[in-house]
Structure 1
Amino acid sequence: MSETTPAETVVIAVLTFRRPEDIALALPRLAAQALDAQAAARVLVIDNDPDASAREAVQAAAAESAARVDYVHEPRPGIAAARNRALREAADASLLVFIDDDEVPAAGWLNHLLQTYRDTGAAAVVGPVISEFAAEPGPWIQAGDFFRRRRLPTGTEVDVAATNNLLLDMERIRALDLEFDERFGLSGGSDTLFTRSLAARGGRMVWCDEAVVVDNVPRGRLTRGWVLRRALRSGNSASRVTLELSRDGIHTLAARLRLLGPGTVRLAGGSLRYAVGLLSRSLSHEAKGLRTAARGLGMVSGAFGYVYAEYRRK
């Protein structure tokens, strides 16, 4: 175990919904990160399944772990409710680190986040996500770069982030009175709104390129339908977040008009590129054209108030 700083406490929060197998795989690795952390760290599982399906897997992992592994049940539906539960459970902690239940941290992940936080004094530190696949993605999926994510030099300032690899300074989160908007709980985008609000209120966010987590992509996500729906949701959420950040009616109207322009351009330009791809038999133009068009459609629909609920439950 590495030397710890007793005054600094860290909660590693992993949110889960009906993925007991993924949780059973992730928890030993997260517990190892907590034990090796250069701070006092514990793992916290937030089970968002009304049936509490992760309870047994978490209890089994906790019994076998030398690190502290806690379980809480948050039955209110939606990922935003689970994220807010994590904020409440970490109210007395110095730092809260979010990671997804289908992700595995690379060696040194947590300590890299901590070191960048200490070096920069940022309110939040963001790390990269690398995808690994249950099966080789088809040529069309690969040509569209649907799973390519950004990589930036460590220390680069960013103004938006997801919660799939995110460290938060809880003192500053409390001071800024930030929480996740639960109206975005079943549509996605509550993390985008949260981090954009953090940046807008003066909270500095920086990138740590060494703090890598690996996203395990199942076969069900390696389809044209899934990746295009994700692109549409991304555009839809981006528009809704922009509207939410508008302060009054006049600003909201202006924001709608600003969103309609780029959204329409993406929809039209992407459709044209898709057509060119079909005629030229270029998978790259075809796939990237549809990806752009789907995001544009999401932006336009979001500007008009439509909510695409990707995480709606049956």
Structure 2
Amino acid sequence: MAEQHPIALQRPGSIVIAVLTYRRTEDLRMVLPRLAEQAHSVSDAAAGTVLPQILVIDNDPAASGRSTVEAVAAAFKPGLITYIHEPKPGIAAARNRALAQSAFADLLIFIDDDEMPYGRWLAHLVNLQRATGASAVVGPVISDYQDEPDAWITAGRFFERRRLATGTPLTVAATNNLLLSVPKVRELNLEFDERFGLSGGSDTLFTRQLVRRGGTMLWCDEAIVVDRVPTMRLTRGWVLRRALRSGNSAARVSLELERTAGRRLAARSASLISGLIRLAGGAGQMALGLLAGSTTHEARGFRTAARGLGMASGAFGYVYQEYKRT
């Protein structure tokens, strides 16, 4: 399995599915066969379509996923699944490696290693992009819990994500279910900012830049992936840390998008004000929930306050590194 050079995908219509992974070998054993099915279903349905390739980017310096990927790949057509080792820490580096390795492809689709594609996921993404010429297409992520969440998590609806009508334009997205037009990415001179590699937010910045530079990003509600939420994430601490990080990276992204001192000052002020409003409003909602015995108000107030704290701290330049490694 070659690692050093871009995959030679030069025929029109070529597709790469990128799975970014970090020490999740069991998840890889589950998802790779499903992605292989998706790849074959697309090529079988459209005569002349190049069989999509699956690219596994392993961000573990120890390359812990290599043997698993090679074992799974051996059961399929040679070249269908390719293993790439990207030892530089941070998800942004792994995302950029996927872009580099897919330099000759037409489409690049990102999916997380702990997600499972549902139904005709790949076909729906590809068909919408080809029908519209969109620069990017985004699909929904549905949570499936490893264990039953406690009442606080359920009341807060923290793992319920948005659903929109297919074709709805977007201005921001994550890479957990994202199709990119590789030629359009090159045209817009885009890459993932590796300063956000250990803090999160490089996908937020990337997709906001894509739209700001004239790209189009559309929602595809039929292209569903299922996120398997482990027990370790079904805690108050994890939810609040994620909210703080999300607010922190959102403020930092807003600053990064502005190129002049005046506009950066305005963005900093807006993030600070918005953060303080959320912090105060969340504290009030939390107090109301505690007094009224409403778990929903209490839980959502806590998360709103945590996000507000993240935004306010980000406005002052603080960087919360959720993915910091020891």
CA distance in 2, matches of 1:57, 1:35: 21
| Aligned residue identity for 2:34 | R
Residue 258 of structure 1: aligned partner? 270
Residue 166 of structure 1: aligned partner? 178
Give the superposition deviation at 1:207.
0.3
Give 3-state SS (helix, strand or coil) of 1:104's partner.
strand
Residue 36 of structure 1: aligned partner? 41
Give the superposition deviation at 1:7.
2.2
Give 3-state SS (helix, strand or coil) of 1:24's partner.
helix
| Aligned residue identity for 1:21 | E
Residue 298 of structure 2: aligned partner? 286
Deviates more, 1:256-265 or 1:211-220: 256-265
Residue 287 of structure 2: aligned partner? 275
| Aligned residue identity for 1:26 | V
CA distance in 1, matches of 2:170, 2:306: 25
Q: Structure 1, residues 143-187: CA drift from partner, whole Å, max 9, x if none?
A: 111111010000000000000000000001001110000000000
Give 3-state SS (helix, strand or coil) of 1:158's partner.
coil
Give 3-state SS (helix, strand or coil) of 1:45's partner.
strand
Q: Structure 1, residues 58-100: CA drift from partner, whole Å, max 9, x if none?
A: 0011001237000000000000000000000000000000000
The one of 257, 261, 266 equivalent to 1:249 is 261
CA distance in 2, matches of 1:233, 1:295: 7
Give the superposition deviation at 1:132.
0.1
| Aligned residue identity for 1:304 | F
CA distance in 2, matches of 1:112, 1:297: 38
Of all paired residues, the percent bearing the same amino acid is 64
| Aligned residue identity for 1:33 | Q
CA distance in 2, matches of 1:278, 1:230: 22
Residue 53 of structure 1: aligned partner? 64
The one of 15, 21, 28 equivalent to 1:10 is 15
Matched, 1:72 2:77: no
CA distance in 2, matches of 1:53, 1:179: 26
**What are the ranges of 5 or more consecutive residues in structure 1 without an aligned counterpart?**
1-5
CA distance in 2, matches of 1:44, 1:234: 27
| Aligned residue identity for 1:192 | T
| Aligned residue identity for 2:69 | V
CA distance in 1, matches of 2:67, 2:25: 8
CA distance in 1, matches of 2:306, 2:12: 48
The one of 213, 220, 227 equivalent to 1:208 is 220
Give 3-state SS (helix, strand or coil) of 1:157's partner.
coil
Q: 1:81-230 residue pairs with structure 2 within 5 A?
A: 81-230=93-242
Give 3-state SS (helix, strand or coil) of 2:74's partner.
helix
| Aligned residue identity for 1:52 | A
Residue 3 of structure 2: aligned partner? none
Give 3-state SS (helix, strand or coil) of 2:285's partner.
helix
| Aligned residue identity for 2:308 | G
Give me the CA root mean square deviation: 0.8
Residue 318 of structure 2: aligned partner? 306
| Aligned residue identity for 1:55 | R
Give 3-state SS (helix, strand or coil) of 2:64's partner.
coil
How many matched pairs?
309
| Aligned residue identity for 1:14 | V
Give 3-state SS (helix, strand or coil) of 1:118's partner.
helix
Give 3-state SS (helix, strand or coil) of 1:273's partner.
helix
CA distance in 2, matches of 1:303, 1:35: 47
Give 3-state SS (helix, strand or coil) of 2:56's partner.
strand
